[in-house]
Amino acid sequence: MSVHLQREIEKIKKSTLSLCALVEEQVQLAVRALLDRDAELARRVEARDVEIDHREVEVEEECLKALALHQPVASDLRLIVAVLKIDNDLERIGDLAVNIARKAVAFSAQPPRPSGGWYPIPFDLAGMCQKTQSMLRDSIDALVNLDAPLAHSVCGRDNEVDQMKRENRKKAEELMRSEPERSAALLNLLAASRNLERIADHATNIAEDVIYLVEGRIIRHTPVE
């Protein structure tokens, strides 16, 4: 590897990890805003999305510059290709965090129950948040440490989040039939549940790209071992 390419690679790594940290924080804040019914925190998440968009473009430009100027091969080429894909997944996760934040604003505006106090969230949304965040954190750790076994474990957990989303939907539909006055709040929670499931999908994509980066093989569309 030439000295110039090495510098470009290190710059790409640094920029990508910075974007990872920002996106992970956005998801954490959006989840907290939703579970705590904190509209002010949710609006802060929305306001920071432009920074993620800006960082995503910077990483892409750095990768394209390295490809055009240095024509990398072998592991260097694999790294840049993987980062380009991961960059896109991170930007989408940032968008989904904003979607959750918007649902948090709407959910926080729902009136309390007539007897006083808030209606409890009727399904394990907190558990789904925790599992999704764990997948995202582990996919980023796998990228930082080039840890293929950890990346494989992330891929293996995606079905668990899918199942939680299905269970949440079933419970919400039952409640909307029996307590229609709660429909607006339940629809906001269901939308947040869908966004969490999609974040888990993108975390899985990142993990798959780490496996490609470390092992040199593409595992999309193959059964989970």
Domains of the chain, by residue range, sit at: 3-215
Pair 62, 83: CB distance under 8 Å: no
Sign of CA dihedral 166, 168, 174, 179: negative
Q: Percent of the chain scored above 70 by pLDDT?
A: 97
Give the number of other CB atoms < 10 A from CB of residue 37. Answer: 16
pLDDT for res 118: 74
Stronger pLDDT, 219 or 173, i.e. the higher one: 173
Q: What is the mean pLDDT of residues 103-128?
A: 86
3-state class (DSSP) for residue 22: helix
Q: What single DSSP character describes residue 181?
A: G
Q: Is it the case that residue 47 has pLDDT exceeding 60?
A: yes
3-215 is classed CATH 1.20.58.220: yes
Q: What is the mean pLDDT of residues 198-203?
A: 98
Sequence-distant (6+) residues with CB within 8 A of 75 are none
How long a stretch of residues is the chain? 225
Q: Is it the case that residue 149 has pLDDT exceeding 70?
A: yes
pLDDT for res 179: 87
